[in-house]
Amino acid sequence: MLLKVKYIVMLSYYIKIILDNLEDIKWIIVSFCDYVISYKLLTNFEDKLVIYSLSCEQTNQEEFESLEGRIKDLNPKYEYKVVNDKIAIGLPEYLEYLELFEIIENYKIEKYTFNDNGSIDVNGDVNLHNEGLTKLPIKFRNFTGDFICTVNKLTSLEGSPKTVGTGFYCDNNNLTSLEDGPETVGDDFNCSSNNLTSLEGCPETVSGDFDCTNNKLTSLVGSPKTIGGDLHCRDNNLTSLEGIGDVKGKIYSDL
């Protein structure tokens, strides 16, 4: 099959730097596009410099196949993998992240780093609002900002971050459980308008408001031990407020 990609040429200016760092380089992604040089290192390896240039001429199949030989000249352990219009070059244990990279780019997630278990940390916010998701597309770990996955079709929080610097918003989904959700939330936690029958799986501490309105709760057992703001628990099937921890703000309920 003839692949319509650009010919990859290492810029001679960087050869010495590359040769000095070959053992440490993990992998690089090059995007094939007309007359544009585009490359991206895994951000947690950004100090390992590898630069590639794309020629303006289309390659033929023979030239493309010879790419493997040129990669092996860089490092015998290197392999490459092509997905859509991108190629990942590097150690085979890292090539699996190319599909993950595509997903991250699709959702316009910035300032992230990969972890060895395939999860990502994000320095900032992630907004997956109204994307038609039935599950989270990426395994997240630590966030410094907001995590928003509102108005989707999620039935589980599997893959959600464990630490959220500010707010966690998973309202208006089809959640039946909060298991696999975050362990620490630095501001508000909103799980309203789901199908929750239990609050088991909540973080122990929510620094802002906790909102579980419009669910199917019969008990508040499992709610955070400490809520720094208000507790909103209206429109449920509660018969008592038993199970509430230390709420610093007001409690809004139907009782």
What strand order describes the sheet that includes 140-143?
A: 112-114, 120-122, 140-143, 163-164, 184-185, 205-206, 226-227, 246-247
Same domain, 134 and 198: yes
Note whether 202 and 182 are within 8 A (CB): no
Tokens at 99, concatenated: 């599909």
Number of domains in the chain: 2
Question: Comparing C-alpha atoms, which of 169, 168, 223 is closest to residue 198?
Answer: 223
pLDDT in tens, 35-82: 444 444 444 444 333 334 344 454 445 555 555 666 666 667 777 666
Tokens at 85, concatenated: 């219009």
Domain contains 104:
no
Domain ranges, residue 144: 110-255
Same domain, 128 and 252: yes
Domain contains 158:
yes
Tokens at 125, concatenated: 């916010």
| Predicted TM-score of the model (pTM) | 0.75
User: 10 pLDDT exceeds 90?
Assistant: no
Same domain, 146 and 178: yes
pLDDT in tens, 130-171: 999 999 999 999 999 999 999 999 999 999 999 999 999 999
Same domain, 208 and 149: yes
Cα 189 to Cα 48, 207, 230, 252: the distances in Å are 38, 9, 11, 15
Widest distance between CA atoms in the chain: 75
Domain closes at, from 98, 129, 164? 98
Question: Comparing C-alpha atoms, which of 37, 3, 21, 12 is closest to residue 90?
Answer: 21
